[in-house]
Chains A and B, each alone.
Chain A
Amino acid sequence: MAKKYELNEVEVWDGNMAAAHALRQAQVDILAAYPITPSTPIVQNYSKFLADGYVDGEFIMVESEHSAMSGCVAASAAGVRAATATSSQGFALMVEVLYQASGMRLPIVLTVVNRALAAPLNVNGDHSDMYLGRDAGWINLCSYNPQEAYDLTLMAFKIGEDLNVRLPVMVHQDGFICSHTAQNVRPLQDEEAQEFVGEYKPVNSMLDVANPVTHGVQTEEDWHFEHKARQHHDLMNSVSVIKKVFAEFKDRTGREYDLVYTYKMDDADVAIFALGTTVESAQIAADQMREKGIKAGVVSLRVFRPFPFNEVAEALSNVKAIAAMDRSAPGGTFGALFNEISASLMAHGKKPVVLNYIYGLGGRDTTINMLKEVYEDLDKCAKAGEAVVPLQQFIGLRGPKLSFY
């Protein structure tokens, strides 16, 4: 029986420590990992908890991230709770197995500390890895600070393991700016957290030898499409479970989560739409713009997949200009947020100005002043009723201004 970990009402934890404690409290049975910066401390802390008797599971050191996710797939298929952590290149190496995990309907939890993808090699935060995995069929939850990294990691188990979902879940946090920034975190006590997450419920477990099953089968044109359709159907329908788990978490903690996050959007004319820590910095910029008479707001996704298509349009229904801020190199088109927000608005008959900003790649600092300049652009467009600046701009970049479209 695992020992109880003494926790203060308020701890000062960075995002990595917060995620590690959530994994500990979820009493993960198998954590297979190959540590990589900046998510290394999640695995490191977890293995220490285990060595000190605070977890009853097993930690398997493997030889690569591909093997780490393969280990989780095997453990989950065998019938136990499995989780791991990764970033960047490690995430990239895991991609093949990410699709296996979702296709095999295994509710693995992956804590992703977002980091840039090489080349050039870079250990700092951006959302390249998050975007790389967005079509992998996982539920994607996004945190903006260490408290949320903790909360969402706990909730990830409950969402993914629900019998109506049975899908793997990623919880994203920004590399260094969240993962290595210590802030106030209010954890649940161990017994409360365990009660919330609940016992693991095996489904079709391979070690249930009385009921033999096959996992990881081959299906050709006869059944493959039906499997993928069912998987998409259940991913789309996971929204109701996500909402239910958010509501239950609010009842316990008072902390409220929704599919879409909004700040001062009731009367906003202009909005920044971002992910990660920038969502919080943008609130400071929005307040400063409001002092100057510009009605500024902030919108973000709490759930990146399944994408809250209708809720996004609703949150943006009264704004005149929106900055879709993508922290990933767009690779020859607009950023993903720009494309998805635009589609959502178009389908709902809305036609505000939508601009795309590429920012913060490789950990480049995103300052409040930078965000205020974005609001200034938006204000100009809102007043003109059309885009009076280029549709895609790179901000915080050295050298001549770079823009497209």
Chain B
Amino acid sequence: MLEIRWHSRAGQGAVTGAKGLADVVANTGKYVQAFAFYGSAKRGAAMTAYNRVDDQPILNHEKYMRPDYVLVIDPGLTYTADITANEKEDTKYIITTHLSKEELIKSQPKLEGKEVYVVDCMQISLDTIGRAIPNTPMLGALMKVSGMFDLDYFQEAMKKVLSKFPQKIIDANMAAIERAYNEVK
């Protein structure tokens, strides 16, 4: 079982990102789960979303998770949210930031000694989509780090997921995915 936790602010698209990923993965014959913690979340409030992926039907409905990947799509949450909660020894972190990896770890010492990747999903989404919606670039970064799917396959699959949107938005998202895929370090 592969488990992923997203840290996001409500409105940044973590739920859409988690469901988009689930859609793509389900097309390969695997079993998926995508969910989020709600409560009385308002736009801008810190929230978490989750993915589970397995070769067997997923029966686990606990919210508790020891994630293989932690995806932080809002730069501020690295400092204000408990992004290392319930981590495993080999949990991988992909963090949205304009800082270099070294600067980031210096600014948030609890990431010291962990497998950390950085990518500026905010800037990428602003440049490509024109709005701060860092979810699809994060998926591009995840593909690179995890090796889950190669870039072409993933982009094709995401086009299907986004098919209800105008072509311009689909193209912008493809560009965002590609840039994050190439820029994550």
Q: What residue of chain B has the Cβ atom nearest to residue A369's Cβ?
A: B64
Name the interface residues of B8-62: CB closer than 8 Å to any CB of A: 18-19, 22-23, 26-27, 31-36, 38-40, 57-62
Contact of A280 among B22, B34, B59 (CB under 8 A): B59
Q: Residues of A within 8 Å of B, CB-based: how many?
A: 27
A180 touches B35 (CB 8 A): yes
- Set of chain A residues within 8 Å of B31, measured between Cβ atoms: 183-184
- Set of chain A residues within 8 Å of B168, measured between Cβ atoms: none
- Contact A182 to B33, CB < 8 A, known contacts A12-B26, A123-B39: yes
- Set of chain B residues within 8 Å of A180, measured between Cβ atoms: 35-36, 38
- Set of chain B residues within 8 Å of A11, measured between Cβ atoms: 26
Contact of B33 among A124, A183, A283 (CB under 8 A): A183
B62 touches A365 (CB 8 A): yes
In the complex, whether A51 has a CB less than 8 A from a CB of chain B is no
A182 touches B38 (CB 8 A): no
Size class of the B contact interface (CB-based, 8 Å): 20 to 34
- Contact A368 to B22, CB < 8 A, known contacts A177-B35, A180-B38, A183-B32: no
- Set of chain B residues within 8 Å of A174, measured between Cβ atoms: 61
Nearest CB of A to B50, in Å: 9
- Set of chain A residues within 8 Å of B22, measured between Cβ atoms: 12, 182
A176 to B58, CA, bound (A): 16
Nearest CB of B to A256, in Å: 14
Q: Which of B33, B57, B62 has the most CB of A within 10 A?
A: B62
A75 to B35, CA, bound (A): 36
Contact of B61 among A12, A184, A281 (CB under 8 A): A281
In the complex, whether A278 has a CB less than 8 A from a CB of chain B is yes
- Set of chain B residues within 8 Å of A333, measured between Cβ atoms: none
Contact of A12 among B34, B40, B63 (CB under 8 A): B34
Name 20 interchain pairs, CB-CB below 8 A, sorted by A: A14-B35, A38-B38, A123-B38, A124-B39, A174-B61, A177-B63, A180-B35, A180-B38, A181-B35, A182-B32, A182-B34, A182-B35, A277-B61, A280-B61, A281-B62, A284-B59, A365-B62, A365-B64, A367-B62, A369-B64
- Which residues from chain A sit less than 8 Å from chain B, CB to CB? 10-12, 14, 38, 123-124, 174, 176-178, 180-184, 277-278, 280-281, 283-284, 365-369
A-B interface, 7 closest residue pairs, ranked by CB to CB distance from nearest: A277-B61, A280-B59, A181-B35, A182-B34, A365-B63, A367-B62, A281-B61
